[in-house]
Amino acid sequence: MTATLAAQTANENTSEATTEQDAASVKAAKQERVFSLINKSSKFLDVFALSWVTPILMMAAGDSPKRNLSLIWQRLGIPIVAILVFLFAWAQLAPQVNTSLGAIPGPAQVWEQAQVLNADHAQEMERRDAFYERLAARNQALIDAGRPGDVSDAGYTGRPTYYQQIWTSLKTVFFGFFLATLIAAPLGIIMGMSPSMNAAFNPLIQIFKPVSPLAWLPIVTMVVSATVATDSGISKSFLTSAITVTLCSLWPTLINTALGVATVDKDLVNVGKVLKLTPYTKVTKLVLPSALPLIFTGMRLSLGVGWMVLIAAEMLAQNPGLGKFVWDEFQNGSSNSLAKIIVAVLTIGIIGFLLDRVMVALQTMFTHSVNR
C-alpha cells in the first residue's frame, strides 16, 4: 500500500514537472516570437531615426536590461547630451559675438522669435478668416438685393506667413525634384543599357553637373519670362525656382541610375536573352529590381541638392519661400532679424533631414537593400 502511494506521488510530481516545463517552453517560444517581431520592426524604426525605441521594446518583452540600457544610452543618451552641450556652448559664446545688428542671439532668443512667428501666423489666419466672412456677408447681401452681378470673388492678399513660405518652398522643391526624376531615371536607364548612349551623354553630364544654381538662375528667369504668359495661371517665380532645382538636382539620379543599370548581374542579362524578353519586360523585370537601390540613392542625393539649391535660388531671385524670408530679414535689419534668420536656418536643416528620412522610407518599401 505504501509503495503504491509513493508511486502515485512520484507520478504526480513528474506530471507537475512536465506541465511546468511545457508552460516554460510555451512562454519561451512566445517570447522568441515577440523578439523576432521587434527585430523585424527595428529596421523601420531605424529609418525614422527611432532606433532607440528597439531596446526599450526588448526590455519590455523581457530581454536583458543591462545590454539594452547600454544601447539606449548609445542611441539616445549620447545624442541628447551632445545637443545639450551644443546649446550650452551656443548660449555662452553667442553673446560675445557682436554684429551690426547686435549680439548673436542665443537659444532662448531664437525660441522666443519662433513663438513670435507662430503667433504671427495665427493672427494672419484670423485676419484672413475675418476677410472671407465679411466678403461672404457682402456677397449674400448683394444677392438678396437682386444684384448677383456685383458679387466679388476677390482673394485675400495679406502677407505670407512663415508657415506659408515653408509650404511654398516644399511645393517648389518637390515639383522640381519630380521633373528631375522624370528626366533622369529614363535617361539613366538608356545610358546604363547602351554603352554608345553612355559615351554620348557622359561629356555633357561632366560639363553641366558642376554648374552653380546661381549661373542657371538668370537663364531660367529669362526663358520663363519669355515663354510663360502672365495670365497662364502658373506663377513665373514658382516655375523659375522649380526649373532651377530640376537643372541642378537631376545629375545624382542620372549618374546613379546609369551606374545601377550598367552593373546589373550579367547572368540576369543572359537569362533575358535566352528567354527573348521584350525590351520593356527586360527593363521592368530584370533591370529595375536590381538597380533600384542605386536609383534611390541617387534620388536621395538629388532631393538634398534640390533643397539646398532652392533656398539659394529664392534668395537671389526674391521668389516666395524660405530663401526670400531669410533675405528679407537680413535686409530688414531689426534687432530680432538675426534670431528669425537662425529660426529659418534650423527649419531648413530639420526639413532637409525629414526629406532624407522620407526617401529612406521609400527605399525600404521598394527595395531589399540593407544599405542606407
pLDDT of residue 27: 65
Averaged pLDDT for residues 171-190? 93
User: What pLDDT does 370 receive?
Assistant: 43
Q: Decide if 338 contacts 99 (C-beta within 8 A).
A: yes
**Rounded average pLDDT over 245-273:** 84
Whole-number mean pLDDT of the chain? Answer: 82
pLDDT tens track for 299-328: 999 999 999 999 988 888 888 889 999 998
Q: What is the pLDDT of residue 1?
A: 52
Cα angle 171-176-178, degrees, rounded to a multiple of 5: 95
Task: Report the Cα 320 to chain-centroid distance in Å.
Answer: 21
pLDDT for the residue 88: 93
What pLDDT does 3 receive? 56
% residues pLDDT > 90 (the chain):
31
Confidence of residue 14 (pLDDT cuts 50, 70, 90): low
Report which DSSP code applies to 158: P
Residue 349 pLDDT grade (very low, low, confident, very high; cuts 50, 70, 90): very high
Q: Which of 22-31, 85-94, 257-266 has the highest mean pLDDT?
A: 85-94
Here the contacts of 194-201 (C-beta below 8 Å, separation 24 or greater) are 198/258, 198/262
Identify the CA nearest to 259 among candidates 305, 181, 198, 200: 198
The pLDDT of residue 372:
42
Question: With b meaning 16 or more CB within 10 Å and e meaning fewer, what string describes 347-357?
Answer: bbeebbeebbe
- Each residue of 213-255: pLDDT tens digit? 888 888 998 888 888 776 566 788 888 899 999 999 999 999 9
As given in the structure block, the three cell numbers for residue 210 are: 558642376
H or E stretch covering 98: strand 98-99
Query: Residue 88 phi/psi, 5° resolution?
Result: -65, -45
Q: Which of 117-121, 128-132, 187-191, 256-260 is predicted with the least confidence, judged by mean pLDDT? A: 128-132
Q: What is the mean pLDDT of residues 111-132?
A: 91
Q: What is the predicted pLDDT for the residue at 18?
A: 59
pLDDT of res. 54: 79
Please report the pLDDT score of residue 12 as a whole number.
Answer: 55
From first CA to last CA, the distance across the chain in angstroms is 74
Judge residue 260's burial from the number of C-beta atoms within 10 Å of its C-beta, 0-12 exposed, 13-18 middle, 19 or more buried: buried
Cα 103 from Cα 335, distance rounded (Å): 9
Please say if the pLDDT value at position 266 is more than 70.
yes
Mean pLDDT value of segment 182-210: 90
At residue 13, does pLDDT exceed 50?
A: yes
135 pLDDT higher than 90: no
Tell me: pLDDT of 283 over 70.
yes
Q: Rounded mean pLDDT of 193-204?
A: 89
Which pLDDT does position 6 carry in this prediction?
A: 54
Q: Which three cell numbers stand for residue 279?
A: 525590351
pLDDT of residue 71: 81
Q: What pLDDT does 346 receive? A: 94
**pLDDT for the residue numbered 96:** 86
- Average pLDDT score over residue span 196-211: 90
Helix (H, G, I), strand (E, B) or coil at 248: helix
This prediction has a pTM of 0.81
Average pLDDT over residues 147-156: 75
